[in-house]
Amino acid sequence: MSAIDIEKNGDVPMLEAVNLVKTLGGNRVLDGVSLALPKGCVKVLIGPSGAGKSTLLQCLNFLLPPDAGHISLEGRRVNGGSKRELCAFRQKVGMIFQDFNLFDHLSALENVRVALIKVKGMSKLEATERALAELARVGLKDKATLYPANLSGGQKQRVAIARALAMDPKVMLLDEPTSALDPELIGEVLAVIRDLAQLGMTMIMATHQISFSASLADEFLFMDKGRIVEQGSPAELLGRGSQSRTQSFCAKISELTGVAGEACELGDIKA
């Protein structure tokens, strides 16, 4: 089916990756990964560490340029060789990192505002207004003047989310957004992510928060050794009697954390 046909069907995915291959240090970290994210869809990447989840997410916005394969945004193939095109593409693809990566020398407000001014060319006033609105959305308007060193981990991650949202992304890539957080701070970040999903943001998230993501995800993608080895709705993969690898992986996590267990009990899994 050509791109035009897909468009006629109104079925063109927001973000699509075809056959991504990435070799790092002699290891084939991505071994032919394809995925499509329809508009408004939330997909969750799970799998053992070293499976290639983080590499996949970083290939999706060319932070790590894939060795082979291609990526399309709304049916238009991205030319990773053109710096100008890459910058334009990345504005539309927000990314959240495990360790936040806030700019340490800028206040929360300036963190959110800097790309609006430098990249989008907004006036300082306009950018400030927009940044404050985004900070309010993640509940941090009163922390606008604080610097990253004076924010908690959960607050830092919420500022990072506000910073990404300010660019009006069409897709969000979330790379283990809560893995670096103390347990009591995870909830505030997950709440913001849940809000985003409910607003219809297209997202793909790598995470170990099985129970949370089971309630949110349209689809689980289980990765191992650079490939997507299983995919399906949380109910299919985690439901009672499922023999999936996803199921046994989650059971293993639940032994350690007691969290996945709830999800595997099918409490509030999205069908």
Where on the chain is the footprint of another protein (CB under 8 A)? 58, 61, 63, 83, 87-88, 90-91, 93-95, 97, 99-105, 107, 114-115, 118-119, 146-150, 160, 163-164, 167
Left, alpha or beta for 107 (phi > 0: left; psi -120 to 50: alpha)? beta
Instruction: Give kind and range of the element (H or E) at residue 165.
Output: helix 153-165
**Smallest separation, CB 113 to another protein (Å):** 11
Nearer to another protein, 83 or 240 (CB): 83
**Smallest separation, CB 4 to another protein (Å):** 28
DSSP 8-state symbol, 141:
G
**Smallest separation, CB 107 to another protein (Å):** 8
Token reading at 1? 């089916």
How do strand 42-46 and strand 219-224 relate by DSSP bridges?
A: parallel
**Smallest separation, CB 90 to another protein (Å):** 4
User: Look-up: residue for tokens 């604080």?
Assistant: 146
Nearer to another protein, 100 or 249 (CB): 100
- CB count within 10 Å of CB 122 equals 18
Alpha-carbon dihedral 172, 175, 181, 186, rounded to 10 degrees: 50
**Smallest separation, CB 249 to another protein (Å):** 27
CA–CA dist 165, 146 (Å, integer) = 19
Nearer to another protein, 60 or 260 (CB): 60
User: Look-up: residue for tokens 């941090």?
Assistant: 140
